[in-house]
Structure 1
Amino acid sequence: MKLSEHKDLKMAITELPLKEKDKLLLRLIAKDKVLTEHLHYKLLEGELDLEDRKEKIKTDVTNQIPSLAKLNAKEALAIVRKMITSVNHFYKVTKDSFGEVELKVFILHNIPLDYKRSLFGYRDYGFLFSAFYIKTLSVTLNKFHKLHEDLQFDLKEEWNHLLDKIYSSKLAAEAAASSIPKEIA
């Protein structure tokens, strides 16, 4: 049931006494962890906290990178997915598009692209890793193009380093097939 479809309910809610509204609001917020965290960020945190959140994610990623090179593609895929999920959560909480793109470029640039093949199993996790990497790259590139041009300028150099890395790796053919540019002009 959408609130927009029930105008009479909307009116009844706006006419509730303030104390009752507060009680209902707190009960609703308690049911959604992301909403609770978003409200905490919006109401109680500032610009320094945003930078702290970004730095925490970068530190976590940096600490995991040395161990990634020793893993097979299946294990690496699971860890990289968790890294990207943490950035997605960061965006849901902060609504910081620039930070989301910046963090994803940081992750994609710093993770290794070549992993050991698993000798057992029927799935080619090397292929799955490559597909996930290119898809994440493509989605992030689209979000990058939606940013203001001044913000794009700030990330342009990092993007070009990332694209150089990709086009000098085994993912070059997949990137070209997915219409990933070789350079951000």
Structure 2
Amino acid sequence: MIWPILLLSILCHTPEDSHIAGLGRYGIGVTTLDSINRSSFTEVEPVLVKGTLALTCDQVRLFTAQSVDINGLSVKNLSLVFYDGRLFQISCDVDDELQKMFRLNYRQGIHASAKRLNLCGTQTNKLLTIEGESWQDGDVRARLIQARGYDSNCQTIASLRLVISDQRVSALCSACDLSAINPFLEAFDQVIAGHR
């Protein structure tokens, strides 16, 4: 059970001095390509420049795993994105246990009120609702993004994802298409920017 491990980590530090550094053994700016267990991950090749079919982002490498154990917690659909061999973005599905753990360690984030978007074209009654929380710690930003409703293919979707990234490196990679792993990240960032 994760609670004894979580309780121990909370006793070792207080939320005031905790820093968002990553997720378990996957540290933003610390984890290198050489340090991950490649047998647990599949590399997604290539990462393309947005709007192109052939231009690649050569410095960016993306690895995904269906499920990875992190400190006794089974994390689903984990994605690790590297720039020049260093981890700059982590994203994964969030269940109740991971959400509780994250909030216990970092308290409540800045809440983004629900925003409704029409991604479904002419069907104006099929909207997507995006909301969540955001935490900022220096260049590292964490977002808990909840999306529910209808996606751009007019299919029903319910998603809760955690995205932790180095904002400075993310800006360098802004032309790279990572929407397959985080389809609602840009929309959420627009929502949260409207609350500042």
Q: When the two structures are superposed, what TM-score results if normalisation uses the length of structure 1?
A: 0.32
Structure of higher CA gyration radius: 1
